[in-house]
Structure 1
Amino acid sequence: MKCFLFALLFSLFAIKANEKPNVLLILVDDMGYSDIGCMGSEIPTPHLDSLASNGMLFTQAYNTAKCFSTRASLLSGVYFQQTDKDFTNTNLIAEVLKPQGYTSLWAGKHHASFDPRTRGFDRFYGFLGGAVSFWNPSMVQREGVGKPANIGESPWILDSDEKTLPFTPDKDWYATDAFTDKGIAWLEEYKDDKPFFLYMAYNAPHWPLHAHKEDIDLFKGKYDAGFEAIRAARFKRQMDENILGPSVKELAVPDWNEIWSELSPKEKEQYARRMEIHAAMMKNLDDNIGRLVTKLKEQGRLDNTLIFFLGDNGASPESPDGRVKNFDVNNLSGDETSYPSIRKSWAVTANTPLNLYKSSSFEGGTNTPMIVHWPKGIKKTGTNNHTPVHLVDIMPTLVELGGAEYKASEKIPPMQGVSMTALFKGESINRENPLFFQYAGGSALRDGDYKLVRRNYKKPWELYKVSTDRVEKHNLAKEMPEKVEAMNKAWQQKFKDMTGSSFTDHLKENEQKKKEKAAKIAKRKKK
């Protein structure tokens, strides 16, 4: 009898010890590399800072440099070159976890055309486009408010059976808050013993710069010193607190669009206002993440919830002005009648100390701070981990921890990343293959200490020893031509292996498509 009771107790303990973790995956949009407090920012983000200090902060986490390609790779575990904007020929995380009893929930941005509930997700509340107004995603003018500025209307799926277009919410609706409200409601609804996978795909702080007035007011005057001064202050904090480790010793050469001292007083005022709203959006994001964490604490589920926080690309230099309807360049109110962006020089600042920004294959385009918080599973908390990781590593991590099976096939490629669970234990990982990057003309390959990168396919390759020069300041291409050639061959081969065609053929095909499109447009104009 004693043996039986011991065996029963041991069995129950083993089941508890091997309990599958809940997963909260938080992806934010167009956040700069240094935009949160624990990365050197002046913006207060206490909730994210707490997750980092009680978890693990990864300082060399890579994405794909672009919104839609990052989202496809993040949820599928393969490079974007192996799929497309609708994630075809892939297994999604939700599909892989479903046989293991996971409830999968998604709130926020999608940037694809399919309904997530057809791909393993049980619930979805969000929009299918790439950018929307945070206050009013439609062009419908609401009573008591001016005409909404927008680049167009995206379909929404509001946790119901059908797509909604246009979506004109109530006046007190704000996207970041609404997504969190839905996430919290789901956490309340699904309080059974099943593990959950909650994907919070926030569209903040992507343009348009929209924020609550009371949040914007908190940052009044904070950016009057200008781009260079804010960038220097962020870098000083990064160095003083040894946030980035030995790979960063200096700032990247800035690709300024403007010099602060050369701007007129009016221009300085307007630029400062842009960053005030951006900071307010980041502050609001942090508040909302705090709400999610508080709910998990209240439910007693925080200890066994694996939280990932990361961004989809570097800060954005884009200016969507010409695409916006009802646009007034001088309207920097932060409400639905406005549609500003931070523009290039603030993007350079937001990405301190790295080189360039969104859409670029250089470090400022492909890097995000990544916070991992899991009290039950992270051995040594409060550490900054400088191991290079990639968002394709999240799928194999969850496959391992969820006891799931990833089924590769003739159509579905194998996972491209490696599990990060060893890093959570304070150990190292073994990555056999280099990290691959290609978006538009930009290209890169990171292999161990070295990174091969170019601005576009018409520019020569540049080579950097990023283990000691992450700001990509000292080009070694002329000193190490054999290394450049070897890495170029590896990049070309990887592209061909993933796409089935050479990069040269790919370029020819794209040029042909452009000609055909131009011909169709010309034909329509003649009619």
Structure 2
Amino acid sequence: MRRSIPFLSSLLFGLASMPANSRAEVLPKPDAPFSGVVAETREKSVPAFPQPVQPRKGAPNVIVILLDDVGFSASSTFGGAAQTPELDRLAAHGLRYNQFHTTALCSPTRASLLTGRNQHQVGFGNLADIATGYPAYNSVWKSETASIARVLRLNGYSTAAFGKWHNTPLWEISPVGPFDHWPTGLGFEYFYGFQAGETSQWEPQLYRGTVAVEPTKKPEQGYHLTTDLVDDAIKWLHNHEAVAPDKPFFLYFATGATHAPHHVPKEWIDKYKGRFDQGWDRLREESFARQKALGVIPAGAELTPRPEGLPAWESLTADQKRLFARQMEVYSAFLSHTDHEVGRLLKALGDEGRAEDTLVFYIVGDNGGSAEGGLNGSDSNLGTLQGSNTEVAFQLQHFADLGSPLYDNHYAAGWSWATTTPFQWMKQIASHFGGTRNPLVVSWPGHVAETQAIRSQFGHVNDIAPTIYAAAGVTFPEKVDGVSQLPLEGASLLPSFADPSAKSAHREQYFEIFGNRAIYKDGWVAGARRYAPWEAFTNLARLFRGGFENDKWELYHVDEDFSQAHDLAEKNPKKLAELKAEFDREARRNAVFPLVPIPDPDTFPSPAAGKTHFVLYEGVERLPTRILPDISARSHKITAAIDNEDGGAEGVIVAEGGRHGGYSLYVKDGKLIYQNNLFGQTLEKLVASKPLPRGKVTILYEFDVDFSLTEAAKGLLSSALVAKARPGRARLAVNGEEVASGHLSLFGGFRSIGTETLDIGKDLGSPVSPDYASPFAFTGRVEKVEIDLKK
């Protein structure tokens, strides 16, 4: 085990190694001169192998843990009702930061965290899923913003990433890349995780490096993604300890938890039965009292009121209360289960004897609690983007199965507000701390002056990179891979490790997500909010509306008003005007404008753009939707050439999507079947009238859109994100003979789900049809599948 150096020495060395014009650093470092001797003969010569770059002696291991969609007050460590004993244990021997901030949304937070810059500088002004053709919003990680992993690796560290990676352009997520913007192209030597904004915790779509891999077990065999990620991370740690125990490592561990779907084993849910019957209003009061008792908020902090548009708990019906309380039981169980699994990772570190020389940053959420489930929550969360059924009576039909593989469930928006106590608002709302303030716990045994201590310096995720560089004695490079680097935007938190009264080095920070925006400067915050987040993706007119000049700005003196309880805009218009002008300067410097650029599907890069004919051969699998022909709401045909040599073949010929939306063409019990799955809520089938013949078979499926929508269809599509589902006439033919036909009430919309893929000869991930279990591989041979888009 490497010996840890005294804290003061580390601090001074770290501060001395911060960026300075006089100490320009270029990475990769040039090869060291040959240290041997080359003479005319072997006897007079001395060999010497090139030596790898060596880290600074005593440089710590670094682990950064990032949870997903966890509000400030969700965990027991910060006053919440969800028990997080492992986080409590880490905090008991470390520091709790109560004025640490994220960007209010996932992709942007990760881009800022992993670079030390502002999210717009990296190219992630909003979600990777809705990239637009502007430099700050195109989701193409900028080469002038090298990642922590790249810088540390070039300074002698091993690097690995596990879990959620939501920072690769969607059109580059394919079996053939390019892979420059995957984790392994951005400095991580090892990656195991998923590429989307969310995935099923039971049936995830995973990658090891750049290669798609399948989970080793099924849900019924005890598989869960968080457990799998921890197991893999522990294996990596053990291998590293076996081979390179003296080499420091940087391990980035980003769970899919607790983002929807809220998937967790039932035994964890049972622990919370009845714990939330009091409702969200009362929960906020209880959490507020616990926060005061824990000291994680100041004694003078005030509890802010419920926002307009969220119902009071007492105004709800008995059915609403019953459903909503269950949703929060599932969510809290999910957070507790996550805490347990992360605790296993930290225990493994301790078992190896590495805890003493490891700096751990545990960031409890990449934004505030999520209101994206809507006012009722949902059991088909991604389907809500297309208008799936979220009625309470409908959800109560599956009440007992929330949290299971069967549902893509999310809690009601009231709980997202409750888990951001004492602040206003929640995820997406970058104008208020409910969206941007998340707990940070730091542990570094022997280097933290106090234990169980609170730190109240203003901080931001872009502070993590400079803190790591300072602790590791790494000089920030002027150039990486020949590219001049943008300066770090964050400031090191290292001085606050030893001194609770150290002044905040981070004196100014702008925030902006979807036009919700704010500016912090020297204890003041001015911000403007544009919409209620529970309507963000079901009311695009609201989300993408203009009129920014008419937005109402609020003003808070947060040095004195911890929770932003008192708007001083009318009392201090001069200060407000000063901060609004400052936001404008920072926005221009960081390329934030234009605000809320509207994504244009016609300009979104895709290998499928402009094509109408596609040929897919045997062995093609795990193709994400963004690189495929978009057949939603379009007349199309699918032609498959198969070999049913023995006459008994069955299985999937082609499938796209999964349990929560998609289509599948398969053979079961000798019959050809086409399954249409709308959000997992409407299942329609065409079944062939006769058995599939023996030998070589040509199968044709045709769908012709009916553009004369029924009133029912119009109602379903009225709140859709994109009108990408339509009714139409479908038919199946075998060797030129029609064997089935029928009318589909609605086809499409599943591409917005984005977590599932297209597969030839099998259905990976979750099954499109309840008639089979994945992968239901075809037992004959699928020679070729052709997809044609009709004019």
TM-score normalized by the length of structure 1:
0.86
SS of residue paired to 1:88: coil
Deviations 1:412-468 (A, max 9, x none): 311001011100011514536511101111011111221011103341211001122
Contact 1:58/1:387 (<8 A) preserved: yes
Q: Distance in 1 between matches of 2:284 and 2:452?
A: 25
Q: CA separation in 1, counterparts of 2:552 and 2:292?
A: 32
Q: CA shift at 1:326, angstroms?
A: 11
1:158 to partner: Cα distance: 2.4
Matches within 5 A, 1:404-423: 404-408=474-478, 412-423=485-496
The answer as to 2:527 corresponding to 1:453 is: yes
Once the two structures are TM-superposed, the CA of residue 117 in structure 1 deviates from its matched residue by 0.9
Amino acid at match of 1:376: G
1:251 deviates by 3.1
Letter of the structure 2 residue corresponding to residue 318 of structure 1: E
Separation of aligned partners in 1, 2:488 and 2:601: 32
Aligned equivalent of 2:557, options 443, 456, 465: 465
Unpaired stretches in structure 2, ≥5 consecutive residues? 1-12, 14-53, 124-138, 169-180, 374-380, 531-547, 605-609, 611-629, 636-706, 708-790
Q: Which amino acid aligns with 2:580?
A: N
Question: Are 2:428 and 1:428 aligned?
Answer: no
Per the TM alignment, residue 132 of structure 1 is displaced from its structure 2 partner at its CA by 0.8
- Does residue 338 (structure 1) correspond to residue 400 (structure 2)? The answer is no
Residue of structure 2 equivalent to 1:4: none
Partner of 2:318: 265
Determine which structure has more spread, i.e. the larger CA radius of gyration.
2
Contact 1:244 / 1:386 at 8 angstroms: preserved in 2? no
CA contact (8 A) 2:508 2:520 kept: yes
Residue 402 of structure 1, CA deviation: 1.5
CA gap of 1:132–1:255, structure 2 versus 1, over 3 A, is farther
Query: What do you get for the CA RMSD once the two structures are aligned?
Result: 2.8
Partner residue, 1:6? none
Code of the aligned partner of 2:303: E
Which of 156, 173, 176 matches 2:226?
A: 176
User: Which whole-Å deviations, capped at 9, do the CAs of 1:486-524 have from their partners, x for residues lacking one?
Assistant: 11111111111122xx73xx14x936959989xx99x98
Residue 535 (structure 2) pairs with residue 487 (structure 1):
no
Q: Among residues 389, 392, 410, which one is paired with 2:459 in the alignment?
A: 389
Residues 104 and 428, structure 2, Cα contact 8 Å, conserved in 1: yes
Q: Which has the higher contact order (CA 8 A, sep 6+)?
A: 1
How far apart are the structure 1 equivalents of 2:201 and 2:601? 33
Between 366-375 and 316-325, report the one with greater CA deviation. 316-325
Q: Which of 406, 415, 427 is the matching residue for 1:358? A: 427
With normalisation by structure 2, the TM-score equals 0.58
Question: Is the contact made by 2:55 and 2:156 (CA closer than 8 Å) also made in structure 1?
Answer: no
Q: Which residue of 2 is the match for residue 5 of structure 1?
A: none
Cα distance in 2 between the residues matched to 1:218 and 1:224: 14
* Counterpart selection for 2:597 from 506, 510, 524: 510
Q: CA deviation at 1:225?
A: 1.2
Letter in 2 for 1:392: N
Matched, 1:439 2:513: yes
CA 1:488–1:246: 2 relative to 1, 3 Å: farther
SS in 2 for 1:23: strand
Whole-angstrom distance in 2 between the partners of 1:188 and 1:168: 20
In structure 2, how many angstroms separate the alpha carbons of the residues matched to 1:510 and 1:241? 42
Q: Distance in 2 between matches of 1:238 and 1:494?
A: 34
CA contact (8 A) 1:26 1:200 kept: yes
**What is the CA-CA distance between 1:306 and the residue it aligns to?**
0.8
Q: Secondary structure at the match of 2:114?
A: helix
Provide the residue aligned with 1:373 in structure 2: 443
Alignment partner of 1:103 out of 138, 158, 161: 158
Say yes or no: does 1:72 pair with 2:111: yes
- Matched residue, 1:299: 352
The offset of 1:168, in angstroms, is 8.4
Alignment equivalent of 2:194, drawn from 118, 123, 127: 127
Q: What's the % identity of the aligned pairs?
A: 30
CA, structure 1 residues 16+98, in 2 after alignment: closer, same or farther (shift >3 Å)? Answer: closer
The aligned amino acid for 1:416 is: E
3-state secondary structure, aligned to 1:52: helix
Cα pair distance change 1:209/1:225, threshold 3 Å: same
What is the rounded CA distance, in whole Å, between the counterparts of 2:75 and 2:183 in structure 1? 30
Q: Hey, what's the Cα distance between the residues in 2 that align with 1:512 and 1:359?
A: 17
For 1:265 and 1:322, locate their aligned partners in 2 and report how far apart those are by CA, in whole Å: 24
Q: In 2 relative to 1, CA 338–231 (structure 1 residues): closer, same or farther, beyond 3 Å?
A: same
SS at match of 1:244: coil
Q: Which amino acid in structure 1 is aligned with residue 413 of structure 2?
A: K
**In the alignment, what sits opposite 1:141?**
none
Q: CA deviation at 1:353?
A: 0.9
Q: Matched residue pairs, number? A: 488
1:314 matches 2:387: no
Contact 1:255/1:348 (8 A) holds in 2: no
Shift in alpha-carbon separation, 1:473–1:245, aligned structure 2, 3 A: closer
1:38 aligns with 2:77: yes
Amino acid at match of 1:399: Y
Task: State the alpha-carbon separation in 1 of the partners of residues 73 and 415 from structure 2.
Answer: 12
8 Å CA contact 1:315–1:350 kept in 2: the answer is yes
Distance 1:91 1:275, change over 3 A: same
Counterpart Cα distance in 2 of 1:345 and 1:212: 24
Contact kept? 1:26, 1:201, Cα under 8 Å: yes
> In the aligned structure 1, how far is the partner of 2:601 from the partner of 2:330?
38
Q: Write the distance in 1 (CA, Å) between the matches of 2:55 and 2:159.
A: 22
Aligned to 2:376: none
Match among 97, 115, 132 for residue 182 of structure 2: 115
Distance 2:84 2:484 in 1: 43
Matches within 5 A, 1:239-278: 239-245=292-298, 248-255=301-308, 257-278=310-331
1:250 to partner: Cα distance: 3.0
Equivalent in 49, 53, 63 of residue 92 of structure 2: 53
Shift of 1:269: 1.2
Partner of 1:7: none
Matched, 1:162 2:208: no
The answer to whether residue 395 in structure 2 is matched with residue 329 in structure 1 is yes
219-228 vs 470-479, which moves further = 470-479
| Matching residue's letter, 2:585 | Q
Equivalent residue letter for 1:21: P
CA gap of 1:326–1:127, structure 2 versus 1, over 3 A, is: farther
- Work out whether residues 28 and 205 of structure 1, in 8 Å CA contact, stay in contact via their aligned partners in 2: yes
* Cα distance change, pair 255–239 in 1 and its aligned pair in 2 (3 A): farther
SS of match in other structure, 2:556: strand
Please state whether the residue corresponding to 2:253 is helix, strand or coil: strand
Does the aligned pair in 2 maintain the 1:255–1:356 contact within 8 Å? Answer: no
Unaligned 5+ runs, structure 1: 1-13, 138-153
Whole-Å Cα distance in 2 between the matches of residues 183 and 511 of structure 1? 38
Corresponding position of 2:203: 136
Residues in 2 aligned to 1:245 and 1:131: alpha-carbon distance in whole angstroms? 35
In structure 2, the CA distance between the partners of 1:256 and 1:306, relative to structure 1 (3 Å rule), is farther
| Structure with the higher helix share, 1 or 2 | 1
Q: Does 271-280 or 449-458 show the bigger shift? A: 449-458
> 2: distance between equivalents of 1:511 and 1:313?
22
- The 1-side partners of 2:306 and 2:150 are apart by 44
